[in-house]
Amino acid sequence: MLNFKQMQENILNFMSDYLENSGAKGFCVGLSGGLDSAVVLSLCAKIAPTSALLMPTNASQERHFNDALALAKSLKVEYKILNIQSILDSFLQKCSIDDLSTNCAKLRAGNITARIRMVLLYDYSALNSLLVAGTSNKSEQMLGYGTIYGDMACALNPLAHIFKSDLFDFARFLGLSQNIINKAPSADLWINQSDEGEMGFNYTELDAVLKGICAGLDEKDLIKNYGAELSEFVLKRVKNNAFKLKMPAILE
């Protein structure tokens, strides 16, 4: 069983030290109504002035927006609502994406959506001398389940060492709403999109393999313990998306 009190203390110390050394005034968070951004906002609000940006599109589910708004109000943080559908429509038109029925088109539109949100977050952070707090957990980082230079971009990431399946209990420790904890993880990048539906496995299954990888198990042992289909899926994603966690290649 994880020691969530110690986990919180370690994260808050890390964030406080980073903020002090940066010279910034506080934090800003892209708030979706999902678990990860809710945990990050809650942690940020314990340390320094924090702003939340709610950036829905037509694909955003109303209950996710309402949960995000309710959390921002309950934490008494400053928040701003920026509907980005018109910006997204302009990008889709310029990129000649007029049919979102294919997986390729959905992926392109999803990446564009994530990058629009990050542009707005970084502009807001520059305007108000704030640090963009990342919301990608360790599972998403290892699997590459995120948009490089989009939702994976940040000044600091409080969750990068925590697996998604452990975040549910951490959120309960933090006292977050059951509405947020119990919902299916989703980035709301297109209508009815969900993380687990897109990948075909739930986070409990995925994290079991990821933790096995971190423990040093080889492919043979992973397949023996967790089955070939799941293990090979995770190993392939980890390998193919490792580039997202690296700095751009340069000639030395």
Structure confidence by residue, pLDDT tens digits, 157-177: 999 999 999 999 999 999 999
What are the C-alpha distances in Å from 123 to residues 47, 57, 100? 22, 19, 28
Phi, psi of 131 (to 5 degrees): -100, 135
CATH superfamily name and code, 4-185: HUPs (3.40.50.620)
Instruction: Determine the Cα–Cα distance for residues 143 and 200; give it in Å rounded to an integer.
Output: 13
Residue that wins the pLDDT comparison between 198 and 25: 25
- pLDDT, position 76: 97
Answer whether 28's CB lies under 8 Å from 121's CB: yes
pTM for this model (two decimals): 0.95
Instruction: Determine the Cα–Cα distance for residues 236 and 115; give it in Å rounded to an integer.
Output: 25
| Per-domain residue ranges of the chain | 4-185
pLDDT tens for each residue of 177-219: 999 999 877 777 767 777 777 888 999 999 999 999 999 999 9
HEC letters along 91-134: HHHHCCCCCCCCHHHHHHHHHHHHHHHHHHHHHHHHHHCEEEEC
- What rounded mean pLDDT belongs to the chain? 95
Answer whether 37's CB lies under 8 Å from 157's CB: no
Answer whether 56's CB lies under 8 Å from 84's CB: yes
